């Protein structure tokens, strides 16, 4: 509540005096805005492709205008609707899984008092980030194959009496993708939280210790609130990314049997756009994704604002 009051108080009326006082800030912003317009907003002119049958020969301005045909094509296709469902499902699942794991890992790592061990664990934890998806999925495929280690364990402990063909079963696909993401990115994603933890005033812990607080209590009352702004900001940013569930993992782990649940928007666009040289369709799908993302973050930002949390803008 205290923070909310503060933000309100900080609303400064635009006066000439205030502008003069903030001239450094304003000049900087201007430079950054010009930069942003050139490198991010001008290329958006390419969105015009979505409304025409783009051909390299005729270029952006000369290609045949087809209005909303490309969008109509997308949304009249039952496959596309299914693909949106898959993307959303995997996007949300990945978001939750990687998010929770990264925070959990950062907090638990922070609790390790043995300095060398802490550094070692952290260094190791972020290494898988540098492996390409093809390597990670290759190992995962090995581990989950009929003769792989997972089936071996399941058989030995008597959980199953026949090897499970994980990749033939539709219901396993989303969890496998989420696991792959957690496996690869937990250590890397935790770096931000570890940095945020450093900004917590150590005297708070000392005070808590004197009050007789245990580890859990300290985590709950000091560490978590301390990194909450970072958590909120990352959560808000990632909400806009749920439609970016990717294509590489799904492409590398998927097969004909699980196609119904494995295809994402990006794979759909690749199938239709690239292999058929249809730039316009890909652009249309891109615009759709952008619009959804922007709507999502604006809504999420409003919710955050209402509840007095950290917000994006």
Partner 1 sequence: MKLRKLTALFMSAMMAATMMTGFTASADEGEYSDDEIVTYTMFATMAGSELNDDNEIMDIIAHKLGVRVKETWLTGQTAEEAIGTIIASGDYPDFIDGGDGSKTLYEQDVLVPWDDYLEKYPNLKEMYTDEEWDQFRQDDGHIYWANVFQNTYGEPKTTMHNDEAFWIQARVLEWAGYPEIKTLDQYFDLLESYYEANPTMEDGTPIIPYTVLCEDWKYYCIENAPQFLDGYPNDGSVIVDKTDPSAPKIVDYNTTETAVRYFKKLNEEYAKGMIDGEFATQTYDEYIAKLCTGTVLGLCDQWWDFGYDTNDSFKTQGLDLIGCNYVPLGLTIDEGMDNRWHTYGDTLNVASGVAVTTSCDDPDRAFKFLNDVLDQEIHDLRFWGVEGVDYLVDEDGMYYRTAEMRMQAADSNYQASHLCQYSYLPQWGGTSRDGKNAMMPSDQASEFLDGLAEPLRNCLEAYGAGGYPDMIGSVIEENPPWFPMWSFSNNLSTETPGGVAWTKMREVKQEWLPQVVMSDDFEGTWEQYMEAYNDVNPQDFLDEMQEELNRRAGIE
Partner 2 sequence: MKRTKMKTKWPDKLFVVCNTLFMIAFVVITLYPVLNTVAISFNDGMDAVRGGIHLWPRKFVLKNYETVLHQQNMITGAYISVARTVIGTLLALVANALLAYVVSRKRFLFRSQLSLFWVITMYVNGGLIPVLLVYRSLGLTNSFWVYVIPGMISAFNMLVLRTYMEGLPESLAESAQIDGAGDFTIFSRIISPLCKPVYATVALFVAVGQWNSWFDAMIYNRMRSEYTTLQYELMKLLSSVMQQSGSANSMAAAGQGAATVTPVSVRAAATVVTMLPIICLYPFLQRYFVTGLTIGGVKE
Rounded Cα distance between 288 and 272, Å, is 16
227 or 281: CB nearest partner 1: 281
Residue 42 contact, options partner 1, partner 2, none, Cβ 5-8 Å cut-off depending on partner type: partner 2
Helix (H, G, I), strand (E, B) or coil at 244: coil
List the one residue out of 20, 53, 102 whose CA is nearest residue 278: 53
Q: Indicate the helix (H) or strand (E) that contains 52.
A: strand 52-53
What DSSP state is assigned to residue 49?
G
Rounded Cα distance between 288 and 51, Å, is 13
DSSP string, 180-223: HHHHHHHHHHHHHHHHHHTTS-HHHHHHHHHTT--HHHHIIIII
Min. distance of Cβ 174 from partner 2 in angstroms? 20
CB atoms inside a 10 Å sphere around CB 305: 15
66 or 293: CB nearest partner 2: 293
Residues within the interface to partner 1 (CB under 8 A): 53, 55-57, 73, 79, 138, 141, 145-146, 165, 167-168, 251-252, 255-257, 259-260, 271-272, 274-279, 281
What DSSP state is assigned to residue 131?
S
Min. distance of Cβ 286 from partner 2 in angstroms? 6
Min. distance of Cβ 90 from partner 1 in angstroms? 18
Min. distance of Cβ 28 from partner 2 in angstroms? 5
Residue 271 contact, options partner 2, partner 1, none, Cβ 5-8 Å cut-off depending on partner type: partner 1
142 or 206: CB nearest partner 1: 142
Residue 141 contact, options partner 1, partner 2, none, Cβ 5-8 Å cut-off depending on partner type: partner 1
Residue 103 contact, options partner 2, partner 1, none, Cβ 5-8 Å cut-off depending on partner type: none
């Amino acid at each position: 509540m205290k923070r909310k009051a503060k933000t309100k108080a900080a609303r400064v009326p635009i006066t000439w005096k205030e502008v003069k006082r903030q001239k450094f800030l304003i000049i900087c912003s201007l430079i950054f805005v010009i930069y942003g317009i050139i490198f991010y907003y001008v290329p958006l002119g390419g969105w015009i492709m979505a409304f025409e049958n783009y051909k390299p020969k005729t270029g952006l301005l000369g290609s045949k205008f087809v209005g909303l045909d490309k969008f109509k094509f997308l949304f009249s296709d039952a496959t596309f609707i299914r693909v949106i469902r898959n993307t959303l499902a995997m996007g949300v699942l990945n978001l939750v899984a990687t998010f929770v794991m990264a925070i959990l890992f950062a907090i638990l790592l922070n609790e390790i008092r043995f300095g060398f061990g802490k550094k070692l664990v952290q260094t190791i934890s972020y290494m898988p980030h540098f492996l390409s998806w093809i390597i990670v999925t290759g190992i995962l495929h090995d581990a989950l194959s009929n003769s792989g280690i997972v089936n071996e364990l399941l058989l030995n402990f008597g959980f199953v009496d026949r090897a499970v063909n994980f990749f033939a079963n539709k219901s396993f696909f989303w969890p496998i993708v989420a696991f792959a993401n957690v496996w690869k990115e937990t250590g890397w994603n935790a770096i931000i939280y570890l940095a945020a933890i450093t900004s917590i005033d150590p005297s708070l812990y000392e005070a808590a210790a004197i009050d007789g607080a245990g580890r859990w209590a300290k985590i709950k009352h000091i560490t978590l609130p301390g990194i909450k702004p970072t958590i909120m900001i990352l959560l808000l940013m990632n909400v806009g990314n749920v439609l970016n569930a990717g294509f590489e993992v799904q492409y590398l782990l998927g097969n004909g049997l699980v196609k119904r649940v494995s295809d994402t928007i990006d794979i759909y666009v690749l199938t239709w756009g690239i292999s058929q040289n249809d730039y316009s369709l890909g652009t249309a799908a891109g615009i759709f994704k952008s619009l959804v993302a922007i709507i999502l973050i604006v809504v999420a930002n409003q919710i955050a604002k209402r509840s007095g949390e950290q917000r994006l803008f």
